[in-house]
């Protein structure tokens, strides 16, 4: 099996990939896939949380929302109808280091879909009435997010974990910031965003020779100006921190997290292993201990958020409030165990296979492939990054895994959202 | 042997080719070869869901789903998932009103192991007694988790209003009370009825050779047919009063809808899908334009349909500030009346068809999605080929037919509504 996995990883991750560098920064990536009937485009610009001052938190998200509300030649309604008539979807996303716009289309309508895509990207109307509508919708959406206990628990965790850095902020912003953005601010931010170096990935049933010229020309001829400037994001690890927030919920929602290596750091592969070992799949350690053996939770798992900046691995679960302390203790104990005892080779081998297999599964969807391709290049990682990391994973030793755990799994940040429990009396 | 391995013809390229063979044990086998990437998805679909829980406690189907993963007499608890990991894959399952399905997605080179493993655990589970008690606790936590989710709570309320005192409207997870009535005997008996032909479908999709899959499927253990199921009574009319729950939330979560005929009228089911797309699929839809854009009443709105065997639903969901619920209801009523009075235009109809067809393509690139779609159609309609005819069915829907159906279905006596509001109210309600 190991040989089979190596053989799979020794081929190009993106076979047939064509890359064209733009004259003044940025690139176009074209990946034809004959076996699919769809086309996905993703374009990433430098932007997002790392480019927003504290009083600008949520500006990227607001801008992207308003961009989808009309162009120089189409009203918001006309834009929606024209997209629907083509069966085409436009999407947007704001992250830590990038803002992205996406397109999903069927091949027969690509020319018309692209025409709309460029209008939205380079000639959005950004007009006052639509700005106000989107502002109102986002403000109500912020409230709706807080209706979800797991979201609140993660927010609490991120605020404690990232302390004074921009990464503690939610991408949608706060009521105080979003309510104050002006149209001039939004337009100025749009200019700065478009002036950055774009990475565009087109994946699916495309003929590179037919669309390459248009994609390159449109991005090369985009309006210029001063690109956005990234803010300082210096961060130092926290000491052990606990935060809690009262909520009249049936369950206590718990997030326990630790620092983790960034994408290019030496322990990144090891952390992928630890994430899978601890919290992915129905036989992960947390699933086995928290749910199967003790019945403490239905939902328990881990997430490893690896960025090109301070990253984290966090466990999360929902449990009976009366057993919340037990749940936290069990989770922390599993992290301690892997730090002290490491992982046996046979268990490690299962995790290696799981990681490689599930990574390949992520490459079936054109949309996810386009995101992966664009993100790797936007971070300067190159097209073989994913497979190279997986090859490292195949060679990682149990000792290396334990070293990674020892380096990162100390001083947890614990966030709990749930009913306030009565404190035990001092005599007990 | 005379076994027919039929290629299902027609349909979109992402479902072509698809092969079907009725196995000697009465289980239909579907194979959808897809060369790249080198993965395989094996699915088993069983006609066991909340709708079958007539003389067993509510939540039995879902409880059994949990117990299947506890292994077989030869596979102790915890080993099933490890076996799947060893194949470079993952496994999971889901229970709905009319079905439960299990799947393994793994590296294609291990397709035989995946097929064998899934078949063995689904048809021959051990159902260890000590695990029954542990799972009762876990499912209790799952129920509590759903109580904390306003969308989850809304769904429970709405279905209970639409299909009162009927298994269609019962919570799939059961209740803490009904869970207490589920024991190993109940699970074992239920398994003997429903995890048998003719209530079972097997599909394999991915980088496989169809005839090799057929040969391997013929070697799977033979299982005796299940007992005939009880006849489900027809559901009574929906509740007229708005069903309301309060939660520690800031927004209002609203579901409104109409009872419709079920799959017994297939042409109507397709027409209702188009109607739902016109009403609430995407930004160009009528309700999005009125409620979100024109009136700024809602944060989001969508419409959907659900066709069960002998009843169905056209539903609308909205997320909005609590003080706008009444105004939104009035707008919704206006839009329904507009459809009844004016009908739908051809341009709007074509937009809906185009969107549905495109979304079908976007959502079915993966072998697992393709296999699941085929298995679902085979189980619920007895004909996987109907999945390949989906686009043709959409094209056959006319504006006149839609208007007739709207008049038939969009009637006050068939309407139900549910709302989740913030604690302390915050919105007008009937």
Residues of chain B with pLDDT under 70: 1-3, 425-430
User: What are the chain A neighbours of B354 within 8 Å (beta carbons)?
Assistant: 84-87
Distances (CA, A) of A285 to A19, A277, A346, A350, A396: 42, 6, 14, 13, 19
Residue A417 in contact with residue A256, Cβ under 8 Å? no
Q: Which residues of B160-189 are buried (b: 16+ CB within 10 A; e: fewer)?
A: bbbbbebbbbbbbbbeeebbeebeeebbee
- Structural contact between residues B75 and B83, judged by C-beta atoms closer than 8 angstroms: yes
Nearest to B22 by CA among B13, B31, B32: B31
Looking at residue B325, its pLDDT comes to 97
Report pLDDT for A421. Answer: 61
Nearest CA in chain B to A364: B366
Query: In whole angstroms, what is the distance from residue A215 CA to residue A12 CA?
Result: 24
Residue B114 Cα, gap to closest chain A Cα (Å): 13
- Strand pairing of B28-33 and B200-206? parallel
Q: Provide the 8-state DSSP code for B197.
A: T
Give residues 170 to 209 of B whose Cβ lies within 8 Å of A.
none
**Tokens standing for B111?**
């397709």
CA–CA min distance B179, chain A (Å): 15
Does the distance separating the beta carbons of A247 and B141 come in below 8 Å? no
Instruction: Considering only the beta carbons, identify the residue of A35, A292, A318 that sits closest to B145.
Output: A318
> What pLDDT is attached to residue B425?
62
Interchain CB contacts (distance < 8 Å): A and B: 187
For B349, name the nearest residue in chain A, comparing CA atoms only: A85
Residues of B in contact with A393 (CB under 8 A): none
Q: What is the pLDDT of residues A235-281, one digit of tens each?
A: 887 788 999 999 999 999 999 999 999 999 999 999 999 999 999 98
Q: With an 8 Å Cβ cutoff, are A85 and B362 in contact? A: no
- Most B CBs within 10 Å, among A65, A120, A141, A250, to test the B interface: A250
Tokens representing B196? 């048998």
To the nearest whole Å, the CA of B220 is away from the closest chain A CA by 24
Chain A within 8 Å of B251 (Cβ-Cβ)? yes
**Chain B residues touching residue A77 (CB < 8 angstroms):** 284, 289, 293
Torsion angle defined by CA atoms of residues A236, A240, A244 and A249, in that order, rounded to the nearest 10 degrees = 110
Check CB contact of A291 with chain B, cutoff 8 Å: yes
From the list A100, A365, A142, A333, the residue with the least C-alpha distance to B250 is A142
Residue B400 forms contact with A (CB below 8 Å): no
- Share of residues in chain A with pLDDT > 90 (%): 89
Taking the CA atoms of chain B, what radius of gyration do you get in angstroms? Answer: 23
Q: Specify the 3-state DSSP secondary structure of B309.
A: coil
Which tokens go with A46?
A: 């430098």
Q: Determine the Cα angle at A218 with ends A28 and A228, to 5°.
A: 75
Q: Chain B contact for A323, CB < 8 A?
A: no
DSSP bridge partners of B106: B40
Residue B351 is nearest to which of A84, A296, A354, comparing CB atoms? A84
* Residue B39 to residue A364, Cβ atoms within 8 A: yes
- pLDDT value of position A58: 98
Asked if B69's CB is within 8 angstroms of A143's CB, the reply is no
Please write the tens of the pLDDT for every residue from A121-155: 999 999 999 999 999 999 999 999 999 999 999 99
The answer to whether residue B309 neighbours chain A at the CB level (below 8 Å) is: no
Beta-bridge partners for B45: B101, B201
Q: For residues B15 and B390, what is the distance between their CA atoms, to the nearest angstrom?
A: 11
Q: Which residues of B touch A358 (CB under 8 A)?
A: 88-90
Q: Count how many residues are written for chain B.
A: 430
Neighbours of B231 (CB within 10 A): 7
Q: How many angstroms away from the CA of B352 is the closest CA of chain A?
A: 8
Residue in A with minimal Cα distance to B364: A365
Contact between residue A338 and residue A405 where contact means Cβ atoms under 8 Å apart:
yes
- For an interface test with B, the pick among A356, A364, A366 (most B C-beta atoms closer than 10 Å) comes out as A364
**Residue A78: closest C-alpha in chain B:** B284
Asked if B240 is an interface residue toward chain A (Cβ–Cβ < 8 A), one would say no
User: Which residue from A37, A147, A350 is facing B13, i.e. has the nearest CB?
Assistant: A37
Contact A5 B357 (CB under 8 A): no
Tokens of B263: 């799959």
Among B39, B299, B351, beta carbon nearest to A85: B351
A421 vs B: CB within 8 A: no
Q: Does A248 touch chain B (CB under 8 A)?
A: yes
A165 min Cα distance to partner chain B (Å): 28
pTM: 0.95
Task: Report the 10 Å Cβ neighbour count for B392.
Answer: 11
Residues of B in contact with A37 (CB under 8 A): 12-14, 361
DSSP code, position B9: P
Q: Which residues of A touch B282 (CB under 8 A)?
A: 80, 83-84
Mutate which: A67, A80, A252, A277, vs B, most B CBs within 10 A: A80
Taking chain A (428 residues) in runs of 10, the rounded mean pLDDT of each run is 89 95 95 94 97 96 98 98 98 96 97 98 97 98 96 96 92 97 97 96 96 96 91 82 92 96 95 97 94 92 93 96 95 97 96 96 95 95 94 96 96 94 42
Nearest to A353 among B86, B134, B350 (CB): B86
Give the 3-state secondary structure of residue B31. Answer: strand
Touching A: B residues 94-113, CB under 8 Å? 105-107, 109
Q: Using CB atoms, which residue from A84, A351, A365 is nearest to B355?
A: A84
């Amino acid at each position: 099996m190991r040989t089979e996995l190596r053989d799979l990883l020794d081929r190009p991750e993106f076979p047939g990939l064509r890359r064209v560098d733009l004259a003044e920064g940025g690139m176009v990536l074209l990946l034809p896939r004959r076996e699919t009937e769809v086309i996905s485009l993703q374009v990433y610009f430098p932007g997002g949380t790392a480019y927003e001052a504290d009083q600008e938190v949520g500006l990227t998200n607001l801008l992207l929302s308003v961009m989808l509300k009309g162009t120089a030649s189409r009203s918001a309604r006309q834009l929606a109808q024209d997209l629907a008539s083509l069966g085409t979807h436009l999407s947007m996303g704001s992250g830590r280091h990038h803002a992205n716009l996406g397109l999903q289309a069927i091949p027969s309508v690509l020319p018309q879909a692209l025409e709309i895509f460029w209008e939205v990207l380079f000639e959005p109307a950004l007009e006052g009435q639509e700005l106000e509508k989107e502002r109102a919708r986002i403000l109500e959406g912020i409230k709706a997010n807080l209706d979800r206990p797991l979201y609140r628990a993660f927010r609490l965790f991120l605020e404690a974990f990232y302390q004074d850095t921009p990464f503690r902020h939610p991408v949608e912003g706060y009521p105080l910031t979003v309510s104050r953005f002006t149209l001039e601010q939004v337009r100025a931010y749009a200019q700065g965003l478009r002036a950055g170096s774009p990475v565009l990935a087109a994946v699916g049933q495309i003929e590179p020779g037919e669309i390459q010229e248009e994609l390159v020309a449109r991005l090369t001829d985009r309006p210029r100006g001063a690109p956005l400037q990234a803010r300082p994001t210096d961060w130092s690890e926290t000491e052990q921190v606990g935060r809690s927030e009262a909520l009249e919920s049936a369950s206590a929602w718990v997030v326990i997290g630790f620092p983790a290596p960034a994408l290019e750091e030496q322990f990144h592969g090891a952390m992928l292993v630890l994430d899978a070992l601890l919290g992915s799949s129905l036989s992960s350690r947390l699933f086995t201990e928290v749910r199967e053996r003790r019945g403490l939770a239905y939902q328990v798992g881990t997430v490893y958020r690896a960025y090109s900046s301070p990253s984290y691995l966090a466990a999360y679960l929902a449990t009976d409030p009366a057993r919340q302390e037990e749940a936290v203790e069990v989770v922390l104990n599993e992290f301690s165990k892997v730090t002290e005892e490491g992982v046996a080779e046979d268990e490690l081998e299962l995790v290696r296979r799981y990681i490689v297999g599930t990574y390949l599964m992520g490459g079936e969807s054109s949309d996810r492939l386009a995101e992966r391709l664009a993100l790797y290049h936007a971070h300067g990682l190159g097209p073989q990054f994913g497979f190279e990391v997986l090859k490292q994973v195949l060679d990682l030793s149990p000792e290396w895994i334990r070293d990674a755990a020892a380096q990162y799994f100390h001083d947890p940040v614990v966030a709990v959202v749930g009913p306030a429990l009565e404190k035990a009396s001092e005599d007990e | 042997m005379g076994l027919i391995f039929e290629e299902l013809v027609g349909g979109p390229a992402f479902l072509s080719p698809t092969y079907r063979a009725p196995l000697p044990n009465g289980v239909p086998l579907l194979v959808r070869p897809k060369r790249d990437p080198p993965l395989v998805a094996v699915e088993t679909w069983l006609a066991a869901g909340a709708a079958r829980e007539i003389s067993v406690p509510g939540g039995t189907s879902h409880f059994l789903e949990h117990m299947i993963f506890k292994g077989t007499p030869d596979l102790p608890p915890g080993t099933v998932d490890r076996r799947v990991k060893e194949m470079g894959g993952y496994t999971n399952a889901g229970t709905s009103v009319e079905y439960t399905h299990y799947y393994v997605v793994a590296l294609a080179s291990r397709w035989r192991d995946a097929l064998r493993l899934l078949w063995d655990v689904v048809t021959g589970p051990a159902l260890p007694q000590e695990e029954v008690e542990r799972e009762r606790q876990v499912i209790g936590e799952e129920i509590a988790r759903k109580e904390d989710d306003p969308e989850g709570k809304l769904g429970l309320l709405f279905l209970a209003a639409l299909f009162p005192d009927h298994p269609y409207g019962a919570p799939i997870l059961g209740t803490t009370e009904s869970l207490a009535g589920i024991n190993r005997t109940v699970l074992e008996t239920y398994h003997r009825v429903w995890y048998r032909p003719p209530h079972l479908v097997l599909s394999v999709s991915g980088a496989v050779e169809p005839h090799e899959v057929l040969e391997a499927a013929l070697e799977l253990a033979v299982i005796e047919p299940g007992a005939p199921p009880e006849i489900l009574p027809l559901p009574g009319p929906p509740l007229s009063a708005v069903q309301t729950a309060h939660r520690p939330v800031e927004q209002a979560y609203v579901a409104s809808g109409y009872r419709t005929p079920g799959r017994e009228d297939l042409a109507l089911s397709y027409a209702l899908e188009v109607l739902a797309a016109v009403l609430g699929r995407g930004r160009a839809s009528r309700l999005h334009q009125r409620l979100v854009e024109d009136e700024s009443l809602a944060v989001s709105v969508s419409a959907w349909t659900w066709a069960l065997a002998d009843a169905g639903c056209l539903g609308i969901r909205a997320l909005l500030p609590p003080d706008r619920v009444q105004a939104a209801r009035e707008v919704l009523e206006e839009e329904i009346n507009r459809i009844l009075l004016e009908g739908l235009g051809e341009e709007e109809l074509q937009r809906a068809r185009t969107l549905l067809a495109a979304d079908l393509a976007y959502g079915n690139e993966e072998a697992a999605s393709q296999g699941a779609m085929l298995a679902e159609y085979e189980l619920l309609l007895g004909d996987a080929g109907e999945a390949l005819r989906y686009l043709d069915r959409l094209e056959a829907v006319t504006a006149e037919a839609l208007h007739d159906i709207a008049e038939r279905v969009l009637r006050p006596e068939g309407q139900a509504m549910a709302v989740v509001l913030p604690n302390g109210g915050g919105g007008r309600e009937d």
